[in-house]
A and B are shown apart, each in its own frame.
Chain A
Amino acid sequence: MPAIEILGLEKTYMVGFWRKRPKCALSPLHLTVEDGEIFGFLGPNGAGKTTTLKLLMGLVFPTSGTARILGHEWTDPSVKAQIGFLPEQPYFYDYLTAHELLEYYGQLSGVPAKQRKQRVEQVLQQVGLRDVKGVQLRKFSKGMLQRVGIGQAILHNPKLVFFDEPMSGLDPMGRREVRDLMEQLKHEGKTVFFSTHILSDAEALCDRVAIIHRGELRGVGAIEDLTSSVQGKVEVIWQGSQVPASIKALGAEIRVTPDRVRAIIDESQQDAVIDALRRERQRLVAITPVRTSLEAYFVEKLRHAETSVGSKA
């Protein structure tokens, strides 16, 4: 059973003074997220990522379409006990302490009183806020609030967690911790659906990703599939800063750094390059196939979308 099935969810806002001008925030979206995977929902700012998440959370109502979460209608209130949600740039009741806030959310999520206290302590420890659990949230930094947000999303041990830009506002250490946490959630058998525009995060974490732009789905698939379009080229790296003339003659794309040389060549030229390096007594460091990065795939999809919009106009 898929964790999420989005069946043509669409959202159009009526804008303007008289609210007569339609503005499409999300074109009919069809998407399936499998149970137990980390799914990245990628797109530039204003692409429709947050709208999709708000629709799934029941915060805005769709113009048409439906969805199923964990096998139930997404509007079924019982579903919400099994999902966690971290909104983008979260803001919480700042008159509460982190402990009080989690306690309150635990109450609302129906965590039994006996387990609640223990669970709150456990989550505070997990997100690294145990030492400041008695401090009011108004004194928290942006990064600390993000940690509180992650804590409240996983507090009630949900089967499915939605994170909207979870790395936003976090320092490198914090980002690393969130990555580890997501991997841990996956290891526990939970499904993680997260939106981001930071592609390196998605590349490092996700089993599959979807790319959305201007409210339309532009591509979906496993990271390996999207990035495996090898262009028949390999990257050769060797130590030093000398480039043998025979390699230059091959017309390779060469980048020289103070201690290394990187050359991108056709696969068919690989043996000739290795021979040349041996002859010149250069030390080979690595030979790796060139893969299309997720970033390249992403940019290509966005460019393609821009071109099709331009040609329609």
Chain B
Amino acid sequence: MSSGRPRLSFRVLTDTLAAIRLALGRRDTRAVATVVAVAYLIAYLWATGDLSYRPDVTARLLVVDDPVGRLFARVGPASFGAVATLDTSVFRLLVSPINLVIGAVLAGLVGINLALSYLAVRRPSACGIGTGSGILASIPALLSGTVCCGPVVLLAVGVQASAALLTAFTWLLPVGVLLLLASLGYIAAKIDTGPLPEPHTTAAE
């Protein structure tokens, strides 16, 4: 921009990065982001069927015949092939690197969103947003955990599949990512990303 005024998109990006730095720079928000992200990743893997409780099988690691070929094989709208089965005698993890990356990205976005929401609750003076904005924005991403077990979800709610429903399942992941990014950008634009005291000092204020 010749005017010297940064483009809005660039400003949103820098604000978002600043908000992420803020969320990860404080001990309390970092803890919230980490706990939420880990919990979400576990829930995501559970919902997609990659992680399950299997005390009935013996511990072993079984690698598929063609791991590279299976890596990018699609097994659902947003679900990719597993290259190994890891049994621990308690849990079974189907090791799908792409699913893990998708889950980790979603988990990271949800974690940072909720960390900033937490900040909004704990430090409302720093934010011009409603308390639940980040949480509400995270719901689509939570739903996106159903992307590769759509028919099972339909079974659970007892409805017949239609083309529209199946299409909706296809859109869950991208819409979830989009809304999480939009939510993050929105919060980042509102939040004061200046230095804030660590939580142990807030009581004295």
Asked if A pairs with B, the answer is no
